[in-house]
Structure 1
Amino acid sequence: MNRKETTGQAITRSLVAHGIDTVFGIPGAHMYDFNDALYDAGDKIRFIHTRHEQGAAYMAYGYAKSTGRIGAYTVVPGPGVLNSGAALCTAYGANAPVLCITGNIMSHLIGRGRGQLHELPDQLATMRGITKAAERINHQSEAGPVMAAVVGKMLSGRQGPGAVEAPWDVFGQSGPEIDIPVGARAPHPTVDPDQIAAAAALISSASNPMIMVGGGAVDAGAEIAALAELLQAPVTSHRSGKGIVPDDHPNYLNFVAAYEYWKKVDVLIGIGSRLELQFMRWKWLPNGLKIIRIDIDPTEMVRLKPDVGIVSDAKDGAQALTDALAGYFREDRRHEFAKLNEEARSRFSAVQPQLGYLEAIREALPKNGFFVEEITQTGFAARFAFPTYGPRQYVTCGYQDNLGFGFNTALGVKVAHPDKAVVSVSGDGGFMFGVQELATAVQHKIAVVAIVFNNSAYGNVLRDQRQIYKGRTLGSDLTNPDFVVLGESFGIRSFRATSPGELREVLEKALALDEPVLIEVPVGRGSEASPWPFIHPAPHAE
């Protein structure tokens, strides 16, 4: 006799089959049958409930971004999906496999505009606009195949978020227990030896090659370091590529230092990178520059056409290029790179007080700890001033620059890495976007240390209004709570640090507590030096 199960139970079995051990979210009426199935899977799936849908989705993002595995969350349809949409945008921009499980209205009313609870005109189309793949389960028998298809697309090629919805009445629909297929990552493209040969020829005739790495190279650090050592070429990165080749590797150039080297580069080797630094931030190209790109996404070769385009996984492409250049020799240039880094650090050391605080955090945070940035003055400075020693350890929102993503994302990072230190830096403005998740941290014992730099302003807006709009400020000044008292009201150990030395001492104490901690750092309104001359430098004079 065949066993029976509901759609919600089949989806849950599929989550387990795909190695998903944690689901973040908020229960709701449309989802009750799925929520109940998660209850039954309590020994296999941990459910962490949040205080806002955006919090749930960002926690799933933090889980995914820091591990490379699927981060899953569940919310009700309509407003729940829309509330979580910012995090899906982040996951899409930062190539993170975040899976949204949601519902829809009753199946016979979809698209009819009757005004049922949480109805959207076309929710599936909305989700398809901000994910790599989104599908609907129309019947219990489709649960396994639909889940596998969406997961397979999420993990293949350039990774990204996915979504699965089921109508309200379908979640509880019962039928014979189904086989659960597992979505597989598509095979990596085969490296084209002709393109490798063409790239090797360009490199062999180059005097000053440079390697730029992005998030697509996150699993290729060893191969890229070996290529850089062979070529005696510098490696640089912006945000998503930080730590792939560690900051303490002799071939790594901080991107402020790399900008000075850029004027003499004749071959740029982009690996898993959109080349945002060179084409969108530096905005000028050295004369005669040749470009080689290694990227798993073939459309990248259309978006920014290189001289040689190698469509492959970063690890495979970097290894093939190294193999093709066997016997290549160049004089040791590591002393030159070290000097450039030293000069760069000297130049940006004036970005205060952010640099002093970042140095304090780096001293207190273990080398294998995680640093979660934010859209804040300290976060901007961290892009060039916070050394990172391993891939995924610097967690960023990528080009979306979602204000308020950081603290919630850090909670997901900590859930994925309970044995590692996780520090979140936020401004007062961004932190208040997700302050309610302090309750989630306490209830689920998520030991993130959240540092809030309180300048009582949306700092970038305030600076621009003062400098560009002659002090005509609008909406940039903020009235804040006492963050220490606020944290304590949630039952969180809270501290205040007023100098880098004090922050280092408090942070060391906080990390040793192994519990959620909030640290407020008061900063004078408008007193922070601008980091932007180093992130958007003025072009060199020709």
Structure 2
Amino acid sequence: MPPKSKLTPPSTCTASTASTAIVKGLIENDVDTVFGLPGAQMYDLFDAFYQHQDQIRVIGARHEQALGYMAFGYARSSGKLGVFSPVPGPGVLNTTAALCTAYGACAPTLCLTGEVPTSFKGQGRGHLHELPDQLNILKGLTKWAAHVDNPEDTPRLLQEAIHQATTGRQGPASLQLCWDDLGKVIHSDTPPAVEPPKTPSINTEEIDRAITLLKNAKAPMIFVGSGAQHASAEITELAELLDAPVVGFRGGRGIVSDDHELGLTIASAYKLWPDTDVMIGIGTRLEIPFIRWGSFMTYERALPGRQLLRLDIDAAEMDKLDTDAPVIADAADGAQALVDALIKAGVPGSGRRAAIRAAKTESLAEIQQVQPQMDYLQVIRDVLPRDGFLVEEVCQMGFAASYGFPVYHPRRYVSCGYQGNLGFGFPTALGVKVAHPDKAVISIAGDGGFMFGVQELATAVQYNIPLVTLVFNNHAYGNVRRDQQEKYDSRVIGSELVNPDFVQLGESFGVTSFRVASPADLKPVLEMALSLDKPVLIEVTQARGSEVSPWKFLLK
């Protein structure tokens, strides 16, 4: 018989171990999917997954970064916890772009990882995958992170990790155990009782102050972000009472539908901005008025001539801007409290709906100059069902989509938030499709960003994830190249690309692949692709430098 492995003892996961406690705790919290790559330190955990595969499934990847992005896409599009498990050290480090994306976009994700054996922890001996201080690295990238020093504490600390990720201002959490502790027998693997999330109680004084501000408002504008995705009905009612336009940029898209007369993109809202006297921020950092329409290079705390009402579950947000009327509350609860108080006080609407409709009509005509992006986005919108998902990417098409693609429901437009990380789109879209197997999901990517995660075509095939991916191939990092041409006297460096034949590449993975060269060509191919119920890659060829810059409507 061959000798037993010296890397790890035989699995004890049939008994109650720290690993079985983790798996049972996830199941108790309605987690049915984990994105994971097994490795030596994590064998016991993955064996526990195997033994509970009737209740929880593991979807792998070809690179750890995809694990994090798939979990992010799963969470961002569903509002449920997205769980991923890489090996420690380099495996964890490969997921950090996804962790900081989840942090910036307030997406509830959980990273489960390992550490060196207990007797090596803190010794700096250079054990397999050892980092100088992995826990503190993770603390700097997450909302909450902890190491389980005593395996008996595993159920309790797992529950705390899930609580931290999914309540308050949501975000990523991380839990790690030493290699040998993951297989240790514990006395109880029963997770603590799941407590209902607690939200801040409504402060009537804060509501009264807000209503006083709104009574005097002549032209209010509502800005919404990721923290308001669950509050669509309440915010729509608030907007209708005030006759106030509602503006979403990334996480806020679709909270008030773009086909509602008060639902505006950043492009159309800017037309109403000069007359705006009260800014109402709900679950948002207010990037649009303070950075996009303010100063991109200088931190501004106040905007002259305008007052600020902020509704946010995170009290710390109130200290980042000069806030005239802070309301610390859950977005839905707070918006409903404002609605009730406005009705009680008899505050009239602004009477601006005609002006709002005109702004939408004018901006829709103006953004048509951003070609060929707008024509392609119109094709995608025509073909994608109303409740389908579009996952953007940092590319010419993605920039234009932030204002040029109509969104009708919250979470249906999935972006990376302010991180702007190239290459997030395709693997994130895989996670979106896993979370919504019965919905249409389209990923748009540039040739540069797509190549960051091209190997995950194999993941799509292996797990039959029927995602439709559009790769817009202009043989460049298009935005960088344009900036170098326009701002640096055409000193182009590092921004032009030599690409593979994407159709042959896709087919080599077993992915049905097509090539188109115009919006008219795209429409029938895209319709067919969505009907196939299998992974599809569509290359859209474009001449290098042919796109009109989308930035006129993104920065003012």
TM-score band (shorter)? over 0.9
SS state of the match for residue 228, structure 1? Answer: helix
What amino acid sits opposite 1:288 in the alignment? G
Q: Does 2:75 match 1:56?
A: no
Deviation at 1:194, TM superposition (A): 1.2
One-letter identity of the residue aligned with 2:311: I
Shift of residue 137 of structure 1? 1.8
Q: Distance in 1 between matches of 2:250 and 2:189?
A: 43
Q: Tell me how far apart the structure 2 counterparts of residues 16 and 331 of structure 1 sit (CA, whole Å).
A: 49
- Which amino acid is the alignment partner of residue 316 of structure 1? D
- Contact 2:25-2:190 at 8 Å conserved across structures: no
Match of residue 191, structure 2, among 180, 199, 211: 180
1:182 CA displacement: 4.4
Q: Matches of 2:304 and 2:91 in 1, distance apart?
A: 51
Matched, 1:136 2:153: no
Contact 2:17 2:189 in 1 (8 A): no
**CA distance, structure 2, for counterparts of residue 107 and residue 525 of structure 1:** 54
Task: State how far apart, in whole Å, the 2-side matches of 1:357 and 1:495 are.
Answer: 16
Alpha-carbon distance in structure 1 between the residues aligned to 2:484 and 2:126: 43
- Kept after mapping to 1: 8 A contact 2:381/2:406: yes
Q: Residue in 2 aligned with 1:409?
A: 428
CA distance in 2, matches of 1:119, 1:4: 28
Between the two proteins, what is the percent identity of the paired residues?
53
User: Which residue of the other structure, out of 375, 387, 401, is the alignment partner of 1:356?
Assistant: 375
SS at match of 1:101: strand
Matched, 1:244 2:255: yes
Of 336, 340, 352, 2:359 maps to: 340
Counterpart of 1:402 in 2: which secondary structure?
coil
1:426 maps to which of 430, 445, 456: 445
1:410-458 deviations in whole A, cap 9, x for unaligned? 0000000000000000000000000000000001000110000001001
**Residues in 1 aligned to 2:312 and 2:516: alpha-carbon distance in whole angstroms:** 44
Q: Do structure 1's residue 257 and structure 2's residue 268 form an aligned pair?
A: yes
- Segments of structure 2 that go 5 or more residues without pairing to the other structure are 1-13, 296-301
Q: Give the whole-Å Cα distance in 2 for the aligned partners of 1:312 and 1:291.
A: 16
Deviates more, 1:185-194 or 1:343-352: 185-194
- Matches of 1:438 and 1:349, distance apart in 2: 33
Three-state SS of the structure 2 residue aligned to 1:212 is strand
Post-superposition offset of 1:87? 0.3
SS in 2 for 1:345: helix
Which runs of no fewer than 5 residues in structure 1 stay unpaired? 538-542
**Among 133, 142, 145, the residue aligned to 1:122:** 133
Residue 302 (structure 2) pairs with residue 283 (structure 1): no
Q: How does 1:16-35 map to 2 (within 5 A)?
A: 16-35=27-46
1:366 is aligned to 2:385: yes
Asked if 1:385 is matched to 2:411, the reply is no
Q: Distance in 1 between matches of 2:424 and 2:242?
A: 38
Q: Aligned match of 2:333 in 299, 316, 319? A: 316
Q: 2:342 aligns with which of 325, 332, 348?
A: 325
Shift of 1:243: 0.5
Q: Alpha-carbon deviation of 1:96?
A: 0.5
SS at match of 2:315: coil
1:97-140 deviation digits (Å, cap 9, x = unpaired): 11111000111111111011000001111111101111112233
Indicate whether 1:10 and 2:43 are aligned: no
| 2:504 is aligned with 1:491 | no
**Partner SS for 1:227:** helix
Residue in 1 that maps onto 2:10: none
Name the residue aligned to 1:523: 542
Change (3 A) 1:532 1:421: same
Kindly indicate whether the alpha-carbon contact (under 8 Å) linking 1:152 and 1:185 is maintained by their aligned counterparts in 2: no
Structure 1 residue 4: Cα displacement? 3.9
Residues 1:431 and 1:182: Cα distance change in structure 2 (over 3 Å): farther
Secondary structure of the residue that 2:35 maps to in structure 1?
strand
The Cα RMSD (Å) is: 1.2
Q: In the aligned structure 1, how far is the partner of 2:457 from the partner of 2:261?
A: 40
Between the aligned partners of 2:46 and 2:388, the Cα distance in structure 1 is: 33
**In the alignment, is the contact (CA less than 8 A) between 1:447 and 1:516 conserved in 2?**
yes
8 Å Cα contact 1:4-1:177 kept in structure 2: no
Give the whole-Å Cα distance in 2 for the aligned partners of 1:330 and 1:119: 61
Aligned match of 2:494: 475
Matched, 1:45 2:56: yes
The TM-score with structure 1 as length reference comes to 0.97
Q: Which has the larger displacement, 284-293 or 39-48?
A: 284-293
Query: Greater shift after overlay, 342-351 or 172-181?
Result: 172-181
1:300: which partner in 2? 317
Instruction: Tell me if the contact between 2:219 and 2:350 (Cα under 8 Å) persists in the aligned partners.
Output: no
Cα distance in 2 for partners of 1:133, 1:287 equals 37
Q: Mark the CA change 1:78 to 1:328 in structure 2 (over 3 Å): closer, same or farther.
A: same
Deviation at 1:287, TM superposition (A): 4.7
Q: Secondary structure at the match of 1:5?
A: coil
**Which residue of structure 2 aligns with residue 540 of structure 1?**
none
In 2 relative to 1, CA 290–252 (structure 1 residues): closer, same or farther, beyond 3 Å?
Answer: same
Could you tell me how far apart the structure 2 residues matched to 1:288 and 1:352 are? 36
Question: What amino acid maps onto 1:431 in structure 2?
Answer: F
Q: Cα deviation per residue 1:128-167 (whole Å; 9 max; x = unaligned)?
A: 1101111112233111011011111112210000111110
Going from structure 1 to structure 2, the CA distance change for 1:105 and 1:355 (only over 3 Å counts) comes to same
Taking the aligned partners of 2:404 and 2:393, their CA distance within structure 1 comes to 14
Alignment match, 1:65: 76
Letter in 2 for 1:158: R
Q: Equivalent residue for 1:439?
A: 458
Which residue matches 2:222?
A: 211
Please give the per-residue CA displacement for 1:61-97, whole angstroms capped at 9, x wherever unaligned: 0000001110001110000000011100100000011
